[in-house]
Structure 1
């Protein structure tokens, strides 16, 4: 059983992530990177993240900051603050590192970490995935994993609002 300290230890700064990822690479491990807002964690997120983890040896999850979620999703988002979202992700067995980014896209984080495998959900075409060119130029893979239909944060919020009215 994991302790809360073990969960907190998965939540790292960009600089810490770079050092840890390089250490893993030096040990010959394949690093998988994915990112998202993960505002209200749901079944689709869980299935996707566990599938992402199977693509390599370690899974690094980039999480949009509260600021970047507002830019992407609007002034009423996120529902859950960045610290809460990172803690929930860190509690997942499939997550090895969780790192925050403040930009609208994770491009600079991808450039810093240079993952071996870049993964997004099936609602993204490979050629649309931010950082795909960087990863493929370094000989890595870019994957669009199957999308779990019927599960989305926006849909969950709409369902809650409908039940509340």
Structure 2
């Protein structure tokens, strides 16, 4: 599957995930904005993928990033972010979502494992109750210290 084919609509993603489940593949789901890809993102996604067989990434649309992060974000468009994320070997599928949370996407995908960085607790991970109720796992992944898109933006602003 080339990287552009990894970017799928919700209906396509549901069918692909079902196919993987039929092959006894363990599905991991995570989500985020992933604006200005950096080491922290790459490390986190690699660790998330290692928790199962396939990693499905819910990617916030530009409109949802702006609502969450402010009118100056995202820096990188949703199409460009989706292509970059899909180019990563350990990301198997990218699905854009426009809501403020990925709950509807999580309920549609029905992952075996839901994961976020360890800056979250299981109690405040959206979709955790749904995944746990279905017998799945909710796990946090250690993050690389001092890497964030906000820090990168602030460093660029200070330099210029």
Secondary structure of the residue aligned to 1:12 is coil
Stretches of structure 1 lacking an aligned partner (at least 5 in a row): none
**Superposition TM-score, scaled by structure 1 size:** 0.96
| Matching residue within 31, 34, 38 for 2:34 | 38
Q: Who is 1:57 aligned against?
A: 53
Tell me which stretches of 4 or more aligned residues in structure 1 moved more than 4 Å: none
1:116-135 equivalence runs, <5 A: 116-135=112-131
Offset, 1:106: 0.3
Answering whether residue 26 of structure 2 is matched by residue 26 of structure 1, we say no
Deviation track 1:84-119 (CA, whole Å, cap 9, x = no partner) reads 000000000000000100000000000000000001
Q: Who is 2:152 aligned against?
A: 156
Q: Who is 2:5 aligned against?
A: 9
**Superposition TM-score, scaled by structure 2 size:** 0.99
**Number of residue pairs matched by the alignment:** 160
Question: Matches of 2:100 and 2:91 in 1, distance apart?
Answer: 22
Give me the CA root mean square deviation. Answer: 0.7
User: Contact 2:43–2:143 at 8 Å: present in 1 too?
Assistant: no
Question: Matches of 2:158 and 2:11 in 1, distance apart?
Answer: 43
Stretches of structure 2 lacking an aligned partner (at least 5 in a row): none
Question: Matches of 2:27 and 2:14 in 1, distance apart?
Answer: 11
Deviation track 1:47-93 (CA, whole Å, cap 9, x = no partner) reads 00000000000000000000000000000000000000000000000
Answering whether residue 72 of structure 2 is matched by residue 76 of structure 1, we say yes
| Matching residue within 67, 76, 82 for 1:86 | 82
Offset, 1:46: 0.2
